[in-house]
Structure 1
Amino acid sequence: MTSRLAPLLEQFDFASARLTERLSGPVMDSGDGLGIEVGPLTDEEYFWEPVPDCWSVRRQVDGPGPRATLLAGAGVWGRDAASYPHPWPPPFTTIAWRLSHLSEMLSIRADHTAGGHALTRDDYLISGDALGAVAAFETGATAWRNALLSIDGAALDTVGYCTYPHGSDVDEPFIDIVWWVNQEVLHHGAEIALLRDLHRAQGRTIAGNAGG
């Protein structure tokens, strides 16, 4: 592995492990080195819509949700999507949407870096439950990490080294794509963690109101 890639790979490993621990437990890093107990992501959390008209993961037979024009993915389930121009303001998205987006992106980018350079969103199987979704994220993260380990220093500066068809990859040096993937995992991971916290807090509020 080239030394220029090392800090980016270390950051990716940190972000991926942090999100996996936050989703699976039994403990997660609190940020100050202390372990906090956390249970595995539930289907209720996975599909929770905290506001009206969320984008989410749905059965293909049910069709897309509000303001979506299609369900991306293969198989029984799909993720709400729309052709350009996308709806504005952007729809609020569920944990299911955000997690499947991350897993799909990692898996397809890995293929377009060190695989067959053929996979698209139409080929990707969307998970219809929390357990499968967490496993899919781990699979995608491993595939992307292995793809990174396969490259040399020259690849980092090569424009279009990754041929991922759903972004600007073909116009960017590969090192910029590596950075971009890291920030996707970091910021979506933080969003998913916050949604878990809000779901837990909502449950406490409902219980408190019921007892009062």
Structure 2
Amino acid sequence: MPTSPRLIPLLQQFDFVCKRLTDRMAGPVVDSGNGTDVKVGPMTDDEYLWEPVPDCWSIRRCSDGPGTGATLLVGAGDWGRDSAPSPHPAPPPFTTIAWRLGHLSEMLTLRADHTNGTHTLTRDKYRFHGDAAGASAAFDAGAAAWRAALLTADETALDTVGHSTYPYGSDPDDPFVETVWWVNQELLHHGAEIALLRDLYRAQRN
């Protein structure tokens, strides 16, 4: 199926931001923003779970229970993501790289399922990871699944309200093209946050 002309720039932006984020997490180099390469090492488990301030939200062992201010750990398996039912704490808690990366991976995987999959996957069925390598692989898998879902969308699908039935956002009330745009901006701003946290982690150890 030919790719919709409206989708092409959004796909290009998606591919660009995913590569920037995966390079930033894995190295060995990352684009500095001005066309030169900067060497970076792969993200360590300590860095992935680093809590730079008190009372962070993170990915935690389910046996340890939720962190301060959280009331539950969502997810399946041994690890869960700090969460709380609405209304969420105000101001929002500071979140670790693990939390932010887990959020992105979960969002991509679930949205893919609710676009061209079973339309049944929930947060309680998603498996989070307590290590950087596992979390990075989960992000790659989620990004690949979402990209595959995008490639099934024709012009009609882009304009269809509720083409994505993802239950944790406004997808059922939005034209699909708006959902595609929203996912890109989620990747852009959380990816930048993860990059900054990597910089802060390195700086406070120098």
- Which of the five TM-score ranges fits, normalised by the shorter chain? over 0.9
Aligned AA for 2:176? F
Q: TM-score, normalised by structure 2?
A: 0.98
- The percent identity for this pair of structures is 69
1:210 match:
none
1:26 match:
28
1:155-174 paired onto structure 2 within 5 Å: 155-174=157-176
2:196 match:
194
2:44 match:
42
* TM superposition shift of 1:119: 0.3
Aligned AA for 1:69? T
Distance in 1, matches of 2:188 and 2:18, equals 8
Distance in 1, matches of 2:44 and 2:69, equals 26
Distance in 1, matches of 2:88 and 2:144, equals 30
**TM-superposition CA deviations, 1:155-181 (whole Å, max 9, x none):** 111110100011110011100000000
1:88-103 paired onto structure 2 within 5 Å: 88-103=90-105
1:119 match:
121
1:64 match:
66
1:128 match:
130
* TM superposition shift of 1:122: 0.5
Q: Does 1:177 align with 2:179?
A: yes
1:203 alignment partner, SS class: coil
* TM superposition shift of 1:35: 1.1
* TM superposition shift of 1:91: 0.1
Q: TM-score, normalised by structure 1?
A: 0.95
* TM superposition shift of 1:151: 1.1
1:208 match:
none
Distance in 2, matches of 1:8 and 1:124, equals 26
The size of the alignment, in residue pairs, is 204
* TM superposition shift of 1:189: 0.2
Structure having the higher Rg: 1
1:15 to 11, 17, 21: 17
2:106 match:
104
Consecutive aligned runs of 4 or more in structure 1 exceeding 2 Å deviation: none
Distance in 1, matches of 2:103 and 2:145, equals 15
Aligned AA for 2:81? R
2:149 match:
147
**TM-superposition CA deviations, 1:87-131 (whole Å, max 9, x none):** 000000000000000000000000000111110001100011001
Which runs of 5 or more structure 1 residues have no equivalent in the other structure? 205-212
